[in-house]
Amino acid sequence: MSDPWIEIDYAGESWTDTRLPAELYLREAHDVDMRDVSALADFVGRYGSPGWWPWRELPDSWSVSEQESDRARRARIKRFGDLAKTIRARRYSYFDSVDGLNIANEIHVDEVRMYLALVRNLTLLWRWMCDDIGERDVAQAWSDSFVFTPPTTREKAGENLVDFVNSALARQTVRLELLDPHECGRRPSEGYGAPLLISTYEVMILQMYNHIVEQARYLVCANETCERLFVRQRSTDERTVSRPERVRFCSSECRAAQKQREYRRRKSQRRRVQP
């Protein structure tokens, strides 16, 4: 890593074969300290590049915001444009203008921040649509990004949510592929094309989409030092388990930690009441 650039091994087995955690968009994407470049680099190293310039996962209407003043809009678009210019200058020799493939092996830290902020903000919009939170909660928790500012109406929130989710899902059309059994199911048979390589951001939005169509409701972990959002409890080996009724913790580790904490408190209280 060379601040502000994070190197990526696009051909590395550790990146292409990584099995992303379920609920990555709710958990790990919200856990990252956006101010810590090392934490951002660690996220990219573990889960791959959130996206690729020229950011085709974003909708064409990203710059439209009726709530912004002209001055604020110009400043935001300038920040976005300046980042694009910096990346373009850095990657010019890697960019194939014929078929639009960006094969650079670096990502700017502000790109990572932009995608993670988008995931967090879109989650807020969906929670608003579900009446879990209100406009004030959205504004208070909003993560700064180049893309758009917090909407002030539920109607605008819904428009933004639909626009960004559908743009991120545009390349993820469901399709059938016949696999060669001699290849252990890892590669499609000849004539059926190669598997589609999509960004981590697109995967996270797909996870969100699946929760939306499932009409899943977010729970808040009862571990007082965690309190992260989740839908299904995660077990110790990072697999997800079906959510039982009245589940209170996002993981078995959080359940054990909170029970141990409560046990120590009860033990301490018993000592104080003894004559």
Q: Strands 219-220 and 229-230, how do they pair? A: antiparallel
DSSP symbol at 184? T
Helix (H) or strand (E) holding 95: strand 95-96
**Contact indicator for 117, 43 with CB cutoff of 8 Å:** no
Task: Report pLDDT digits (tens) over 115-149.
Answer: 999 999 999 999 999 999 999 999 999 998 888 88
Identity of residue 42: D
CA dihedral (155, 29, 246, 209) positive or negative: positive
pLDDT band at 99 (very low <50, low <70, confident <90, very high): very low
Give pTM, 2 decimals.
0.80
- Does residue 54 surpass a pLDDT of 70? yes
**Contact indicator for 216, 233 with CB cutoff of 8 Å:** no
**Among candidates 259, 34, 30, which has minimal Cα distance to 251?**
259
Q: Quick one: what percent of the chain has pLDDT higher than 70?
A: 72
pLDDT, greater one: 138 or 97: 138
Q: Count the neighbouring beta carbons within 10 Å of the beta carbon of residue 65.
A: 19
**Among candidates 229, 32, 27, which has minimal Cα distance to 143?**
32
